[in-house]
């Protein structure tokens, strides 16, 4: 994994681009929160959603015109990376911290007093060695970093897949790790948990509506912390695929079109940060295994969740073009599929 | 009716005891929800069920299962010492009926014997001077089909057909608690029972309840014992009685004996539940509520009785006559005969009891399960994901209200819940299984509707299967029959409607 990006100018340009995307995303989160609030009036929510959606686009355009500065604004300091790859194995939590630090630290994404939702992959009952759930050490470090950045509430959540939700979080170790680091754990289970707030997907071409859990809708910051692994139907399960677990009606997305649906969902919830756990990965019979694993010993972090997923593909001997939802998300302009155009930090 | 008056003395005590038992019953029924209470076991009230205990002895052919009903055997033993006090003091259904009666509009009057009927009773009871014998009043004997129903239940039990869902008040109330918490089945049966309070305050108990009939018959044995043996008994001191008839009108069970009896000592009616309503109503203090032969309560002119005025416990007094049935031998034999006829009809016309149904693990022997299951819904309360739903009439009367495993509602998590359903079952209907070697059913895939076989990216079934029993060739799933446990996670989550993968019972 060499960093092909040496051109300073291009790097600065791409840094600006990613900052612009970040701010647009924050705007979007405001929209989502508002959408969640009005969704009680179910008749209105569709119409309002599209109206506010237009407003968001206007705001985004304005943000783009004002051309914000690079996140590490201090003159002379090295520009923070847009995609950080922490390699070399060891404690996966330490890798996650190194990667986020290379992006400028968690304070870039989490402001004091904010509520953070961390969507982990806690869907399966096996421990970290199986490569099916996010490594507990990564979860603990991400929670700790949010706490250090001054977050008032940190919520670790997933809609689990196999067996009772509480059992999943207990057996894969994610629940205990999250709690001991200072997070609340909100676990959902079953085919459709029956909960969630119905919202329209304004930019969706496959997924028109879905029901998002309020803990995600009401959060100020959303961080997706997936386990990178093989997946039977999606090819690979990465940061965007991980987002299916913020929906209550998760079966429906398979009915419409899984790949485009994932991209649509990502366009709706737009995580502010993606931290892909590739410490130990399942390489076949995914997503739940049991199956062969390998240990790349890598954690990837980026505010550009498309780029993070795109990079993670290479760990499986694949490219982004092999994974439908990454391609679809790139086509929708949700992020940079060609991560080589970003400032990549190998740490 | 005296029940409408302010409760006093024994009435207050009884209401407190009833309320405590009802509260415990409901609390334990609620506590059966996962994880079920282990101490006190959440099903201990259901194991206090006398008719279920007798049923298990007759039909289950397992002493272990019958012994698990030890609280009921203790109750039966205490009842055999003298009265069906359970009905007046403990039974949750009886308490519900009393509570319903207490809030019944005053304008709606109970059926009560008229003055001339009461006089008639008294005349029949008035013995010729010097004789202690009285003519048993026929009264409303026709209203006592409970003995017929009891006979039916017991005859059916011999054929291993479980009818406790209408015979046991414990089962009825437990089912109601479950239905009330998870509104899935109309609560018609208990509504009918409660509605009957517009006719008589305890119409179900005095006329229909097979469990009460059983306890009444059991108490017959104890009527021969001196009253000091009985847990609770109503005793009469005839010399203080002015034949006013208030006691008879006060009795929810229509027992005439406190009014008509000329025998000193405790009442011998099989229907006296020692509730003490007559004792509280008696203005003369002629009646008392005794516990183990000691007077606990006397109303009215307290002190009118002397401590020694209890001939039944005195040496040399005549032995009290045995309690009488409010049912003739002809009626009883007729009941048994009718039961046999109904049994035949039930067996012939009501569906194939061997036809497999998807059940919880440990209930794959359908005929054994049907014989043992009391339909009390305790397992459905305990099931963590809510996979169990009571069956309707569609597969025959024999399967009515038995819990069916419905994977589309929720897959079974027997490998994670340590068989919660098995642990709460009071009747031994669910066997213990080894989670590593369990097969409830087998998943079958419909390739014509399966999204994967139609080229869509899905494989939700493979994603959800905890047993690695779905193999995927590209996007196309298939079931590995040797690995499938029938847990139904695939059917629960299949995105198509109806599901393209369904669990079928083993054949």
d(CA A244, CA A259): 11
* Residue B487 Cα, gap to closest chain A Cα (Å): 10
β pairing state of A298-302 and A83-86: antiparallel
pLDDT at B228: 66
Spatial contact of B390 and B185, defined as CB atoms under 8 Å apart:
yes
Contact check, Cβ <8 Å, A233/B458? yes
pLDDT at B500: 97
pLDDT at B271 > cutoff 60: yes
Phi, psi of B163 (to 5 degrees): -110, 20
pLDDT at B249: 83
Residues of chain B with C-beta less than 8 angstroms from the C-beta of A164: 384-385, 413, 416-417
Spatial contact of A82 and A308, defined as CB atoms under 8 Å apart:
no
Spatial contact of B463 and A287, defined as CB atoms under 8 Å apart:
yes
Name the residue among B482, B479, B505 with its Cα closest to residue B406.
B505
Residues of B with CB under 8 A from a CB of A: 384-385, 410, 413, 415-417, 451-452, 456-460, 462-466, 468, 472, 475, 489, 492-496
Assigned token pair, A158: 């997933």
Domain limit, last residue, from B374, B401, B434: B434
- For residue B6, the cross-strand partners are none
Assigned token pair, B454: 């139609």
Per-residue model confidence as pLDDT tens digits over A199-243: 999 989 999 999 999 999 999 999 999 999 999 999 999 999 999
Q: Which residue has the tokens 């031998």?
A: B329
B399/B304 same-domain check = no
d(CA B87, CA B92): 9
d(CA A227, CA A289): 13
- Is A257 at the interface with chain B, CB within 8 A? yes
Name the residue among B321, B210, B309 with its Cα closest to residue B257.
B321
B410/B272 same-domain check = no
Per-residue model confidence as pLDDT tens digits over A151-195: 999 999 999 999 889 999 999 999 999 999 999 999 999 888 889
d(CA B271, CA B265): 16
B62/B146 same-domain check = yes
B429/B444 same-domain check = no
Phi, psi of A49 (to 5 degrees): -55, -45
Q: Which residue has the tokens 């009285």?
A: B134
B114/B243 same-domain check = yes
Strand order in the sheet with A344-346: A184-188, A153-159, A115-120, A221-225, A273-278, A298-302, A83-86, A344-346
Q: Would residue B351 be called left, alpha or beta, if left means φ above 0 and alpha means ψ between -120 and 50 degrees?
A: left
Please give, one letter per residue, the 3-state secondary structure of B55-90: HHHHHCCCHHHHHCCHHHHHHHHHHCCCCCHHHHHC
Query: In terms of CA atoms, which chain B residue is nearest residue A190?
Result: B410
Cβ contacts of residue B36 below 8 Å, gap of 6+? B42, B43, B382, B420, B423, B424
CATH number at residue B385: 3.30.70
Nearest residue, CB atoms, A162 vs list B410, B458, B464: B464
Mean residue pLDDT of chain B comes to 82
- Is A256 at the interface with chain B, CB within 8 A? no
B288/B389 same-domain check = no
d(CA A224, CA B367): 52
Is residue B350 included in any domain, yes or no? no
* Residue A109 Cα, gap to closest chain B Cα (Å): 32
- For residue B134, the cross-strand partners are none
Mean pLDDT of B165-181: 86
Spatial contact of A149 and A187, defined as CB atoms under 8 Å apart:
no
B403/B476 same-domain check = no
Is residue B344 included in any domain, yes or no? no
User: Which residues form the domain of B479?
Assistant: 439-505
Q: What is the rounded end-to-end Cα distance, in angstroms, of chain A?
A: 11
Contact check, Cβ <8 Å, A167/B493? no
Assigned token pair, B441: 């059913």
SS3 content of chain A, % helix, strand, coil (to 5): 45, 20, 40
pLDDT at A101 > cutoff 50: yes
CATH number at residue B499: 3.30.70.20
Per-residue model confidence as pLDDT tens digits over B43-58: 999 999 999 999 999 9
Is residue B358 included in any domain, yes or no? no
d(CA B414, CA B387): 11
Top residue of B182, B450, B463 to mutate, by most chain A CBs within 10 Å, is: B463
Mean residue pLDDT of chain A comes to 85
pLDDT at B300: 63
B405/B494 same-domain check = no
* Residue A249 Cα, gap to closest chain B Cα (Å): 10
Q: Name the 3-class secondary structure at A11.
A: helix
pLDDT at A242: 97
Q: Name the 3-class secondary structure at A200.
A: strand
Give one DSSP letter per residue of B105-122, joined into a string. -TTSPPP---HHHHHHHH
Spatial contact of B98 and B169, defined as CB atoms under 8 Å apart:
no
Top residue of B414, B416, B473 to mutate, by most chain A CBs within 10 Å, is: B416
- Kindly report which listed range (A114-118, A197-201, A321-325, B309-313) carries the lowest average pLDDT score: B309-313
Contact check, Cβ <8 Å, A163/B413? yes
Spatial contact of A227 and A185, defined as CB atoms under 8 Å apart:
no
pLDDT at B194: 86
Is residue B453 included in any domain, yes or no? yes
Spatial contact of B259 and B248, defined as CB atoms under 8 Å apart:
yes
pLDDT at B269: 85
- Is A190 at the interface with chain B, CB within 8 A? yes
B188/B289 same-domain check = yes
Higher pLDDT, B325 or B351: B351
pLDDT at A314: 96
Q: Is the dihedral of CA B441, B445, B446, B451 positive or negative?
A: positive
Phi, psi of B433 (to 5 degrees): -130, 160
Q: Is the dihedral of CA B202, B207, B211, B216 positive or negative?
A: positive
β pairing state of A273-278 and A221-225: parallel
Name the residue among A228, A250, A243, A233 with its Cα closest to residue A161.
A250
Q: CA A306, A312, A313: angle at the middle one, nearest 5?
A: 95
Higher pLDDT, B260 or A342: A342
Contact check, Cβ <8 Å, A162/B494? no
How sure is the predictor about B327, in pLDDT bands with cuts at 50, 70 and 90?
Answer: low
Residues of chain A with C-beta less than 8 angstroms from the C-beta of B496: 255
pLDDT at A182: 96
Name the residue among B156, B143, B158, B162 with its Cα closest to residue B213.
B143
d(CA B180, CA A22): 50
B194/B171 same-domain check = yes
What interface predicted TM-score (ipTM) does this complex get?
A: 0.79
Name the residue among B496, B418, B413 with its Cα closest to residue B451.
B496
pLDDT at A215: 95
Is residue B353 included in any domain, yes or no? no
Contact check, Cβ <8 Å, B463/A258? no
d(CA A212, CA A28): 14
Per-residue model confidence as pLDDT tens digits over A36-67: 555 544 333 333 333 343 333 333 333 333 33
Domain limit, last residue, from B434, B453, B469: B434
Phi, psi of B276 (to 5 degrees): 85, 10
Nearest residue, CB atoms, A251 vs list B416, B465, B493: B493
Query: In terms of CA atoms, which chain A residue is nearest residue B451?
Result: A255
Give one DSSP letter per residue of A290-319, joined into a string. ---EE---EEEEES-HHHHHHHHHGGGT--
Assigned token pair, B489: 């996670």
pLDDT at B398: 81
pLDDT at B8: 63
Task: Please name the helix (run of DSSP H) or strand (run of DSSP E) that holds residue B297, with its range, or none.
Answer: strand B294-298
Structural domains of chain A, ranges and CATH numbers in brackets: 84-340 (3.40.50.11440)
* Helix-helix angle A324-331:A258-269, to 10 degrees: 50
Assigned token pair, A187: 């676990």
pLDDT at B11: 83
B307/B397 same-domain check = no
Nearest residue, CB atoms, A191 vs list B416, B472, B492: B492
How many structural domains comprise chain B? 3
Q: Is the dihedral of CA A39, A44, A49, A52 positive or negative?
A: negative
Spatial contact of B488 and B407, defined as CB atoms under 8 Å apart:
yes
Spatial contact of A236 and A230, defined as CB atoms under 8 Å apart:
yes
d(CA A29, CA B365): 55
B265/B409 same-domain check = no
Contact check, Cβ <8 Å, A290/B452? no
């Amino acid at each position: 994994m060499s960093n092909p990006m040496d051109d300073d100018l291009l790097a600065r340009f791409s840094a600006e681009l990613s900052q612009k995307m970040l701010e647009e995303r924050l705007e979007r989160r405001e929209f989502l929160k508002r959408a969640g609030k009005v969704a009680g009036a179910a008749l209105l929510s569709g119409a309002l959603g599209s109206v506010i959606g237009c407003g968001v686009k206007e705001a985004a355009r304005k943000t783009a015109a004002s051309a914000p500065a690079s996140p590490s604004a201090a003159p002379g300091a090295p520009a923070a990376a847009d995609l950080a790859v922490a390699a070399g194995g060891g404690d996966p939590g330490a890798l996650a911290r190194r990667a986020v630090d290379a992006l400028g630290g968690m304070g870039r994404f989490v402001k004091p007093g904010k509520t953070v939702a961390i969507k982990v992959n806690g869907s399966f009952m096996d421990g970290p060695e199986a490569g099916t759930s996010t490594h507990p050490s990564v979860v603990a470090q991400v929670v700790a970093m949010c706490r250090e950045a001054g977050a008032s509430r940190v919520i670790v959540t997933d809609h689990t897949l196999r067996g009772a939700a509480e059992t999943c979080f207990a057996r894969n170790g994610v629940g205990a790790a999250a709690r001991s680091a200072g997070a609340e754990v909100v676990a959902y289970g079953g085919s459709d948990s029956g909960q969630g707030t119905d919202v329209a997907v304004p930019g969706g071409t496959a997924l028109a509506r879905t029901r998002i859990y309020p803990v995600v809708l009401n959060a100020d910051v959303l961080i997706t912390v997936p386990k990178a692994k093989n997946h039977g139907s999606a090819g690979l399960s990465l940061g965007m695929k991980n987002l299916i677990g913020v929906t209550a009606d998760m079966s429906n997305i398979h009915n419409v079109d899984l790949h485009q649906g994932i991209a649509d969902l990502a366009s709706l919830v737009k995580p502010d940060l993606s931290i892909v756990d590739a410490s130990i990965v399942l390489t076949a019979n995914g997503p739940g295994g049991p199956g062969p694993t390998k240990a790349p010993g890598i954690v990837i972090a980026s505010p550009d969740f498309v780029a993070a997923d795109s990079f993670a593909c290479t760990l499986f001997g694949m490219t982004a073009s092999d994974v439908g939802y990454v391609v679809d998300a790139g086509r929708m302009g949700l992020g940079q599929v060609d991560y080589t155009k970003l400032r990549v930090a190998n740490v | 009716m005296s029940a409408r008056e302010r409760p006093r003395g024994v009435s207050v005590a009884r209401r407190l005891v009833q309320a405590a038992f009802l509260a415990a019953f409901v609390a334990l029924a609620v506590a059966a929800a996962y994880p079920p209470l282990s101490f006190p076991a959440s099903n201990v009230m259901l194991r206090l069920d006398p008719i279920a205990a007798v049923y298990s002895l007759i039909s289950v052919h397992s002493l272990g299962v019958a012994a698990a009903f030890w609280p009921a055997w203790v109750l039966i033993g205490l009842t055999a010492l003298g009265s069906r006090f359970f009905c007046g003091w403990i039974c949750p259904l009886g308490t519900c009926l009393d509570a319903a009666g207490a809030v019944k509009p005053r304008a709606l009057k109970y059926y009560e014997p008229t003055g001339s009927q009461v006089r008639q009773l008294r005349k029949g009871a008035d013995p010729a001077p010097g004789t202690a014998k009285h003519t048993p009043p026929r009264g409303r004997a026709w209203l006592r089909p409970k003995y017929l129903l009891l006979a039916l239940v017991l005859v059916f039990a011999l054929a291993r057909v479980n009818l406790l869902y209408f015979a046991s008040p414990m089962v009825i109330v437990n089912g109601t608690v479950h239905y009330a918490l998870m509104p899935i089945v109309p609560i018609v049966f208990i509504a009918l029972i409660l509605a009957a309070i517009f006719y008589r305050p305890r119409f179900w108990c005095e006329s229909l309840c097979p469990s009460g009939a059983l306890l009444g018959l059991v108490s017959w044995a104890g009527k021969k014992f001196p009253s000091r043996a009985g847990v609770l008994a109503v005793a009469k001191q005839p010399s203080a009685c002015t034949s006013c008839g208030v006691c008879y009108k006060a009795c929810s069970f229509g027992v005439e004996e406190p009014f008509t009896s000329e025998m000193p000592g405790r009442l011998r009616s099989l229907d006296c539940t020692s509730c003490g309503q007559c004792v509280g109503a008696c203005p003369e203090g002629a009646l008392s509520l005794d516990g183990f032969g000691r007077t606990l309560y006397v109303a009215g002119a307290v002190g009118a009785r002397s401590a020694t005025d209890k001939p039944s416990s005195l040496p040399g007094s005549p032995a009290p006559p045995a309690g009488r049935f409010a049912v003739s031998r002809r009626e009883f034999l007729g009941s048994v005969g009718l039961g046999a006829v109904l049994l035949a009809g039930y067996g012939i016309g009501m569906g194939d009891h061997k036809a497999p149904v998807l059940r919880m693990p440990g209930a794959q022997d359908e005929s054994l399960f049907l014989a043992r299951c009391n339909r009390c819904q305790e397992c459905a309360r305990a099931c963590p994901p809510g996979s169990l739903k009571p069956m309707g009439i569609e597969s025959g009367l024999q399967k009515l209200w038995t819990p069916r495993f419905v994977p589309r509602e929720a897959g079974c998590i027997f490998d994670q819940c340590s068989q919660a359903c098995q642990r709460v079952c009071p009747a031994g209907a669910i066997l213990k299984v080894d989670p590593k070697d369990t097969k409830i059913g087998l998943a079958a895939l419909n390739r014509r509707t399966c999204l994967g076989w139609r080229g869509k990216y899905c494989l939700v079934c493979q994603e959800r299967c905890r047993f690695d029993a779905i193999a995927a060739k590209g996007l196309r799933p298939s079931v590995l029959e040797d690995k499938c446990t029938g847990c139904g996670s695939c059917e629960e989550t299949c995105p198509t409607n109806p599901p393209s993968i369904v669990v079928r019972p083993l054949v």
